[in-house]
Amino acid sequence: LFPGVRQAQWLTKTKLVEGLPPAVQGIMDNPAHGLQELEERAKRAVSHARLWDTAEVAPRREQYCPVLFENLIHICRLMSGKYPSLSKRMLARNCRIAATWERESILLQVRGLSGILMNSMTPIPPVASKEEILATKEHVLETFYPIAPTIDLQEVNVYKELNHTGQCFGDGYPYSHPHTLFFLESANVRTDRFRPEQLRAKMLMFAFGNALAKAKALHGNDPKVLEQPVVVQSIGTDGQLFQFMVFQLNTTDLVSNDGIKNLVWIDSDQSLYEKAQCVPEVKKRVVTKPAGIFGFQPDTFKKFLALYLHGTV
C-alpha cells in the first residue's frame, strides 16, 4: 500500500541514506582493482544471459535472471585469483531466515526463504562512523498516523520465537557472518514479481532479520546498543534493474522510538542495460536495430563488484 521502504524503516527503526556508503564508493573509485577491464567481461556476461544461453530464440526471465546472476557472481568470484581472501566466502541457497523483535509493544517477526545468502568468515567492518551513529539519535522516525505501521502485515499466532540466522546453520560453521543477500525476481509474469519499491522493502526486512539474528547470536538476547555494529548487504534484481542496499544494525533496542537508530544506504533502480535485442528489428526491409545489448551501464556492475569485495579489500 505504502511506499514499502518507509514502512519497513519504521518497523526496523532505521534511518535512510540515499546512495551507497563512502567505503563502497572508495572501492569503486580505486583503480587498483582493475574494474575497467571487467567491463568487457560484464557485457559478455549480460549478452550470454540475455541472448546466447538457449537454443530457442530468446530466453525467458525465469531462465535469464538466474543465469545473469550466476555469470556476474562468477566474474566477481574470479577476482579471488587476485585477492585470495575472497575465497573465504560461501554461497548458501534456499536458506530460511527467522528473526523476532518487539517494536512498541508489537511483536514482529520475519520468516521465510531469503533467497541466496553469501556468508563469509570475517564480518564486514562498520560503515558509518561513531558520529553518524550518534547523530541518528536526533532523527525522528516517520510515522504514518493515522495508519498503523503494521498495516499489510500478516498477523500470526507465534508459539515459538525463533532467532537463528535462517535457522540454517549449525554451530561451529566457519562462515558464520552473513555478508550479502541476493534476491532474484525471476517470475515470468509481471504481476508475480515484486515492484522495485516492494523489492527494496523486502530486502530491508531480510537484511535486518539476518543482522538481528547474528547480533543476538553474538551479544545475547538483551536489547542494547551494539558496540560493534553488524553490517549486512543486500542486492535485488529482476534481470535488468538492480537495487543495492547496505544495512548497519546499531542497536537491538527496538521497543522505543528514540535513541540510536539503525542505518541503511540504498541505491535504487540502477539499470545494467537498456535493452537486449535478440532478433534484429527490421522495419520496411531495413535493419533498424541490430541484435545485441543496448545502453550497457558499467557503473552498475562496478557497484555490484564493489559490494562483493566490500569487507575483504
Partner 1 sequence: MAALGARRLLRPGRRWFSETLPGGPSPAASPLYPPVVASLTAKSKAAKSRRLQRFNQRVHAAATVEEKLRLYGKLQRPKYTVYPQTFALNADRWYRSFTKTVFVPGMPPRAAAAKPPAAAAGTTPEGGRAPEPGAEAPGAAEAPEVAKTVEPAAGAAPYLDMGELRSLACDALLQESFYQKKKRPFLYRDQDHTPGPFLTQLVSTLAALLSGRNPLLAASSLDLYPEVNYYWHHGEETVVHGHRKGRVDPVRFQIDDNPHLQIRVPKQLPEVVPLESDLGDVPVIDHKPSKLPLFKKQYENKVFIGSKVADPCCYGHTQFHLLPDKLKRERFIKERLEDQIEVVYRSNGIASLFAWTAAQAMYQGFWSEADVTRPFVSQAVVTDGKYFAFFCYQLNTLALTAETIKNNPRKNICWGTDSKPLYDVVEDGNVKGFNDEVLLQLVHFLLNRPKEL
Task: Report the interface residues with partner 1, using CB under 8 A.
Answer: 41, 44-45, 47-48, 51-55, 66-67, 70-71, 74, 77-82, 84, 86-88, 90-96, 121, 167-170, 172-175
CB of 169 to partner 1, least distance (A): 5
Q: Which is nearer to partner 1, 146 or 170 (CB)?
A: 170
Nearer to partner 1, 146 or 172 (CB): 172
Task: Give residues with Cβ within 8 angstroms of 36, minimum separation 6.
Answer: none
Strand spans (E) along 220-261? 225-237, 241-251
Task: Please give the full DSSP string across 84-133, using - where no structure is assigned.
Answer: GGGGSEEEEES-EEEEEEEETTEEEEEEEE--EEEEESSPPPPSS-HHHH
Q: Which is nearer to partner 1, 150 or 167 (CB)?
A: 167
Question: What span, in angstroms and rounded, lies between the C-alpha atoms of 303 and 255?
Answer: 34
Yes or no: say if 260 and 251 are a contact pair by the CB < 8 Å rule: yes
CA 207/CA 181 separation, integer angstroms? 7
Question: What's the min distance (Å) between Cβ of 121 and partner 1?
Answer: 6
C-alpha cell at 312: 575483504
Of 48 and 111, the one with the shorter C-beta distance to partner 1 is 48
What is the C-alpha separation between 11 and 17, in angstroms, rounded? Answer: 16
Contacts of 286 (CB under 8 A, 6+ apart): none
Backbone angle region of 197, left / alpha / beta, with phi > 0 → left and psi within -120 to 50 → alpha:
alpha
Q: How far is CA 44 from CA 33, 38, 170, in A?
A: 19, 10, 39
Paired residues of 305 in beta bridges: none
Q: How far is the CB of 309 from partner 1 (least distance, A)?
A: 13
Instruction: Compare residues 80 and 271 and give the one whose CB is closer to partner 1.
Output: 80
Shortest distance, CB of residue 147 to partner 1, whole angstroms? 37
Residue 173 vs 294, nearer CB to partner 1: 173
Q: How far is the CB of 33 from partner 1 (least distance, A)?
A: 14
* Least separation in angstroms between CB 31 and partner 1: 19
Contact (CB, 8 A) for 203 and 266: no
Phi then psi for 213, rounded to 5 degrees? -65, -40
d(CA 177, CA 34): 27
Least distance in Å: CB of 4 to partner 1? 29
For residues 90 and 241, which CB has a smaller minimum distance to partner 1 in the complex? 90
Question: Residue 7 or residue 119: which is nearer to partner 1 going by CB?
Answer: 119
For the chain, first and last CA: distance in Å? 40
Residue 28 Cβ vs partner 1, minimum distance, rounded to whole Å: 21
